[in-house]
């Protein structure tokens, strides 16, 4: 039996849908009651992996590093103790190493590799939807300081397809780390051109000031700024991707970002 965690989230819900439609033996876990198992990584007593052989561990980010590390550590320890033999983990691409949330992913990769469990690591690139949301025009122009370099973003649906491919036969992917950056990189000037709006990037200081006026949790502003810094410095472009090995016909990332930016723009 496969267990998919974070099942109410955007990526894991797609993975759950694909695997269920294909008739794979699968259960879902979520903090919400809509799933087969109610599970919260922050509460070890809820971690019930009985009868599960393969765990699809959706990274539970959106918190300080120490919290994320504690969550993932608890899951790996309990999974092993309760007889899980295989873990497919959604990590973060090498191109994203400069981002504020990369560290907890690298910690989890190391813990998984050293755990004695079988594993496959899916190093997901930045979502095209995320870039579309962050670079959505405000008052008719894009101001986020993302520079002009290309970004190897990838559609969330492609990452779900990649996960599905692995879950169909995890052991065929044992001990493999897949770099899943997008293969049709685009820059924010490209996005602005497609949206027919101006791109007038502010400075990092101005963006930091703007973020201080937005209701965010304390850890979020530095994480968001790290995306701007890495994009501006050209570090979000990757020349290495294994995406085509798992998803032969990926979606066009610019189109996905464009669609998202349009929705975000109202």
Which residue lies nearer to ligand NAP by CB, 196 or 215?
215
Least distance CB 198 / ligand NAP (angstroms)? 25
Which residue lies nearer to ligand NAP by CB, 50 or 203?
50
**Which residue ranges make up the site for ligand NAP (CB under 6 A)?**
5-12, 30-32, 40-42, 58-62, 71, 90, 124, 126-127, 130
Which residue lies nearer to ligand NAP by CB, 64 or 209?
64
Tell me the pairing of strands 141-142 and 198-199. parallel
Instruction: Please identify the residue of the shown chain whose CB is closest to the bound ligand NAP.
Output: 9
Rounded CA separation 124/184 (Å): 15
Least distance CB 140 / ligand NAP (angstroms)? 26
Least distance CB 6 / ligand NAP (angstroms)? 3
Which residue lies nearer to ligand NAP by CB, 124 or 187?
124
Least distance CB 182 / ligand NAP (angstroms)? 11
Least distance CB 35 / ligand NAP (angstroms)? 7
* Contacts for 73 with CB less than 8 Å, ≥ 6 apart: 108, 111
Rounded CA separation 229/226 (Å): 5
Which residue lies nearer to ligand NAP by CB, 70 or 245?
70
């Amino acid at each position: 039996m496969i267990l998919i965690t974070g099942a109410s989230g955007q990526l894991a819900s797609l993975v759950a849908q694909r695997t269920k439609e294909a008739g794979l033996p699968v259960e879902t876990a979520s903090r919400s009651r809509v799933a087969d198992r109610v599970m919260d990584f922050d509460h070890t007593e809820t971690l019930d992996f009985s009868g599960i052989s393969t765990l699809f561990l959706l990274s539970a980010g959106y918190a300080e590093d120490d919290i994320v590390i504690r969550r993932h550590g608890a899951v790996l320890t309990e999974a092993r103790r309760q007889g899980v033999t295989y873990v497919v983990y959604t990590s973060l691409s090498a191109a994203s190493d400069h981002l504020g949330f990369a560290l907890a992913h690298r910690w989890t990769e190391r813990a998984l590799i050293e755990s004695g469990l079988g594993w496959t690591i899916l190093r997901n690139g930045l979502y095209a939807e995320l870039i579309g949301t962050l670079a959505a025009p405000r008052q008719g122009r894009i101001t986020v300081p993302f520079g002009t370099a290309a970004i190897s973003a990838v559609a969330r649906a492609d990452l779900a397809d990649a996960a599905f491919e692995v879950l169909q036969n995890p052991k065929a992917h044992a001990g493999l780390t897949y770099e899943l950056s997008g293969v049709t990189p685009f820059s924010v000037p490209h996005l602005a051109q497609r949206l027919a709006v101006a791109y007038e990037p502010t400075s990092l200081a101005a963006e930091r000031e703007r973020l201080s006026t937005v209701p965010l949790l304390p850890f979020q502003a530095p994480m968001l700024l790290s995306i701007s810094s890495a994009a501006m410095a050209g570090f979000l472009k990757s020349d290495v991707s294994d995406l085509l090995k798992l998803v032969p016909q990926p979606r066009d990332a610019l189109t996905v970002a464009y669609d998202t930016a349009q929705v975000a723009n109202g």
